[in-house]
Structure 1
Amino acid sequence: MISILLHLAGGVALLTWGLHMVESGLMRAFGATLRQFMANSLGNRFNAFCAGLTVTGALQSSTATGMIATSFAARGLMKPVTGLAVMLGANVGSTLIVQAFSLDLSWISPACLVIGMALFEKGKGSQSRDLGRASIGLGLMLLALTMLVETMRPAEAAPALRTVLDALAGEPVLNAAIACLLTWAAHSSTPVVLFVMSLASSHAAPMASVVALILGANIGSALNPYFAGAKGDDSSRKRLPAGNLLLRGGVCLGLLAITGPIARLLDGLPGDRGHLVADFHTGLNVTIAVVFIGLIGPVATLLERLIPDAPQASDPDAPRYLDPSVLGTPSEALACATREVMHMGDIVEDMLKRSIPVMLADDRGSVADLTRRDDAVDRLHEAIKLYVTDVTREHLSDVDDQRATAIMTFVINLEHIGDIVDKNLMELAQKKIKGKLRFSAEGTTELLALHQSVVDSFHRAQTLFVSGNPQTAERLLEDKLVVRQLERRAADQHLVRLREGRADSLSSSSLHLDVLRDLKRIHSHVCAIAYPLLQRDALCA
């Protein structure tokens, strides 16, 4: 009994992992194309239904299709009616996958594995590698299906398993709950339905239990995207999964009351029990789609009432001071832009100050947080740039023109600093965590000293931006020599440790030198803020 259950669990796990590989491989290879295809099919509910069916057939996952549809709805690109039609199509598409696997395709498994491995190894960093991943996943799914069938063959001879299944025969709700839980854990109904088909084919479970299990798998499949959407505060991300759960889950819950008559009907039909189960699964979702495709308008209206838009919470990183009402007065508008630049500078300063300590602490959560903060920097950069561009459409005095130039110079360099922290230093931090690398004690001290010098210069640059003091600008350029000397001394001392054969320095050498380089690059952008002021003073002299 234990051996059978272990083999069954292993088969379901392998089936689920293969499904994940197919989905991730095809999304990497054709994700943009599939999204564009879906975006072009949103003209009416019938096109949307076909798009959901097609994309699910390609990805072999209705959950993935639902996530794409939900993201479209959240951005206002998809109306609730078309979104629900996509979900109905995705439900039907997932059943076609089961129909395909109900055929005897076990002979294809070795071919898929061999072809997939060849493509995966040959096409590093290319679309071929992603297709290879999908082919390997398909091979694993077929192999897992064969394993499940072979495992279930002796099931009738296992008295304990038959006792458990017979005990559950009169408990449709319990059967459905078990299948729902398995589907939620696997994040896909496909492996669970295929497993239930194996139970049916081997006569290991009565048909009433099989019907209840199929209904539970469909409920679980609707629960996955619902729970995923419930994690956020965006109401538009919750409505489509909730609507899918209402339609698909509601029908399946209702049918649990008549599992007996459905089972007797299926038992009276000719053919293999496993194929009958697959047909029931497909017929159920097709029926739901046919019945509700014309009623999704009222359902969408109901969802908007049940899940209204949440009040917009204030975003602390959103633009605060860019007042469009003063654009006709350049001096006031530039003052607003200056305040917004200081707001942006505070975010970049926070990123810069935390970057090296986060790297030294191997804090994955803080690495992700700093990466997200760069998105706010990019939004502010874009907003300030467009605002100042609108200001410069007016005729500006020499003073205002110089101020506009200083603002744009500062904003551009702030954006570059944020990018270096995000795309360079934080990637190096992830590399350090993944490789379990450590800097030497001396190397850590040198990095902290250089980092502190860069932070001090950044503070001076902010002061210069506000005051425009030429002495501050000259001091900032003097810092450039200090930072250059610190960087050079740190690199030289690191090479000395390498010659001494220090293990920690040897393992982290590339990482150490890259951090020194990136801090020096950041300081170059900090110093670039001083040049417009010095050039202005030179012209005035």
Structure 2
Amino acid sequence: MKHLLNLLAAVALLVWGTHLVRAGILRVFGANLRHVLARSLGNRFTAALSGIGVTALLQSSTATALIVSSFVGQGLITLPLALAVMLGADVGTSLMAVVFSFDLSWLSPLLIFLGVVLFISRPATNIGRFGRVLIGLGLMLLALRLISESTQIMVRSPVVQALLASINSERPLEILVGAGLALLSYSSLAIVLLVAALTATGVVAPDMALGLVLGANLGSGLLSVLTTARASVEVRHVPLGNLVFKLLGVAAAVPFIPLWLQYARPHLVNDAGGVVLFHLAFNIAMALLFLGFLRPVARLVLAVLPRPARNPVGSRPRHLDPSALATPSLAISCAAREALHQADIVETMLQGILTVIRTNDLRLAEELRKLDDTVDELYSAIKYYLTKISREALGEEESRRWTDIISFTINMEQIGDTIERILIDIEDKKIRKGRSFSDAGMAEIAELHARLIDNLRLGMSVFLNGSVRDAQRLLEEKARFRDLEHAYAATHLERLSGNTVQSIETSSLHIDLISELKRINSHICSIAYPILESAGALAPSRLRSDVLATVDSDASD
């Protein structure tokens, strides 16, 4: 029993080390990895190469699948190119298995020591997070040595030998066991390394080991499908296509296992190396074979899992992908995408105000007011999603972006509430009472409305790109809008003094309306403050220094 517990602890340590490496790489290089992938998707070959490189760092094809799936869900890349990345990702994982198959146990103490020193000395920095990566690598190497030592004792047990013999009798059972282990450990790499270690000590026969390796590959495909099961249809296409490749690849590879054992095994140094090399050969063969069948498999995936019909403007797409929460930089991107969708709905509401004023369309007014419920729901969903992102895992830039998204969605939610109030006033004070604005008053409202639309679009651009120049332009528009509001309020009073009937009837509504439009503009311009503050472009006080000096002198007198 003691030896079994030692083996289970060593396997758990291997899985945990793999998790530390994957999480650490994502936290330190997550945004850069996404940029590398995004820039390397010109054709299927560069896409596959980028998949190899990124997955070699992450040591997890599942993590790469989540990143690439989000690209497809956001419409940034096509499904065939995403499938090419996944073929490369599987090769990247198998390359890391080959590296870890060498006897690197002497590195384990050094990596753990350096990692602990870096993590403890600077835990909240990228250096500290890189220390966690070193700790994970050290634990993986330590775990492989412990597995080898534990299995050398366990292999002598008659019970263990009988159990392994029963599994060895059926190829489908070997594949099923390998897939199950990959699902349980959340890592096909860990299982391949485990099988190699068990083969080196004689616990697992070479023939059985190759079946378990095929099962581990199949398990990694199933794991991606299960991880994205609750995501949008577009996101689920990539894992499903990758699973199709693995199913076809495993089915095609089974007949070649005897040939591998007959012709390749005699030329290998040891059976453990043969396991990882078979794993590498299998994934390279899959990549070379299926790179020519990306489009047919993509069509098959779309037939099995068709895209839903396009939703109306008010409906909410599923940009808040739960599976992306494991990758903070990716989750931040998903939240920003959803925030822009919220702003799109606000823009639809804002554009509709002028139509309601001009046409007295009560039905349109009601539809626009209902959109405010969608804006509120989006605000709640985005806020809840952001709270589930680990703030400790965010770098300084990502943490600032987290705050920007919260601020942006709050402003959009308040604009939606203001538009709803405006529509209620228009219904009660204008449409139902059969009143209308004067031509001059209507022209003023139309002018302010047009400026609001332009400012909202500029605000969305500032939020998306973080341009300091555009943020400054947005604040300049705030001053212009304030001046216009004051000027139009004055001209309205002049029309009242001229006893213009239409102006008298709609006076209260007119003043309230331009005041509410100014309030909306203030919320839009608030988008610029976080950008300017982070760039150091905001003064400590917006009060003029000469006015403050005058006040101080008066107080002293």
The TM tier, using the shorter chain, reads: 0.5 to 0.7
- Supply the AA of the counterpart residue of 2:445: D
- Supply the AA of the counterpart residue of 2:226: F
Return closer, same or farther for 1:407/1:343 CA change in 2, 3 Å cut-off.
farther
Match of 2:216 in 1: 217
Q: 1:151 Cα deviation (Å)? A: 1.1
Match of 2:83 in 1: 84
Which 5+ residue runs of structure 1 have no aligned equivalent?
356-363, 387-393, 416-465, 474-541
- Supply the AA of the counterpart residue of 2:167: L
- The match for 2:281 among 257, 274, 283 is 283
Hey, what's the Cα distance between the residues in 1 that align with 2:124 and 2:440? Answer: 51
Hey, what's the Cα distance between the residues in 1 that align with 2:175 and 2:17? Answer: 25
Contact 2:349 2:371 in 1 (8 A): no
Hey, what's the Cα distance between the residues in 2 that align with 1:367 and 1:85? Answer: 34
1:74 maps onto 2:73 in alignment: yes
Instruction: Give runs of aligned pairs for residues 361-510 of structure 1, distance below 5 A.
Output: 397=442, 400=445
- Supply the AA of the counterpart residue of 1:203: G
Return closer, same or farther for 1:374/1:225 CA change in 2, 3 Å cut-off.
farther
- Supply the AA of the counterpart residue of 1:87: M
Q: Provide Cα deviations, 1:326-370, integer angstroms capped at 9, x if missing partner.
A: 688693499999878855765788899x99xxxxxxxx999879x
Hey, what's the Cα distance between the residues in 1 that align with 2:376 and 2:74? Answer: 31
SS at match of 1:295: helix
Match of 1:154 in 2: 153
Hey, what's the Cα distance between the residues in 2 that align with 1:398 and 1:47? Answer: 56
**Over aligned residue pairs, what C-alpha RMSD do you find?**
4.2
Instruction: Give runs of aligned pairs for residues 196-207 of structure 1, distance below 5 A.
Output: 196-207=195-206
SS at match of 2:348: coil
- Supply the AA of the counterpart residue of 1:7: N
SS at match of 1:203: coil
Return closer, same or farther for 1:384/1:398 CA change in 2, 3 Å cut-off.
farther
- Supply the AA of the counterpart residue of 1:246: V
SS at match of 1:149: helix
Contact 2:13 2:140 in 1 (8 A): yes
1:322 maps onto 2:351 in alignment: no
Match of 1:486 in 2: none
Q: 1:82 Cα deviation (Å)? A: 1.1
Hey, what's the Cα distance between the residues in 1 that align with 2:8 and 2:440? Answer: 74
Hey, what's the Cα distance between the residues in 2 that align with 1:365 and 1:72? Answer: 19
Q: 1:35 Cα deviation (Å)? A: 0.6
Q: 1:71 Cα deviation (Å)? A: 0.6
Hey, what's the Cα distance between the residues in 1 that align with 2:252 and 2:5? Answer: 33
Return closer, same or farther for 1:329/1:179 CA change in 2, 3 Å cut-off.
closer
Q: 1:173 Cα deviation (Å)? A: 1.0
Match of 1:438 in 2: none
TM-score by length of structure 2 reads 0.62
Q: Provide Cα deviations, 1:28-78, integer angstroms capped at 9, x if missing partner.
A: 111111110110001011110110000001111111111111111111111
Larger mean Cα displacement after TM superposition, 302-311 or 104-113: 302-311
SS at match of 2:105: coil
TM-score by length of structure 1 reads 0.64
1:331 maps onto 2:353 in alignment: no
Contact 1:330 1:396 in 2 (8 A): no
Match of 2:543 in 1: none
Return closer, same or farther for 1:339/1:160 CA change in 2, 3 Å cut-off.
same
Hey, what's the Cα distance between the residues in 1 that align with 2:33 and 2:375? Answer: 36
Match of 1:272 in 2: 270
Return closer, same or farther for 1:212/1:374 CA change in 2, 3 Å cut-off.
farther
SS at match of 1:204: coil
Instruction: Give runs of aligned pairs for residues 238-249 of structure 1, distance below 5 A.
Output: 238-249=236-247
Count residues in correspondence: 397
Contact 1:172 1:259 in 2 (8 A): no
Hey, what's the Cα distance between the residues in 1 that align with 2:410 and 2:45? Answer: 41
Hey, what's the Cα distance between the residues in 1 that align with 2:359 and 2:132? Answer: 54
SS at match of 2:197: helix
Contact 1:120 1:128 in 2 (8 A): yes
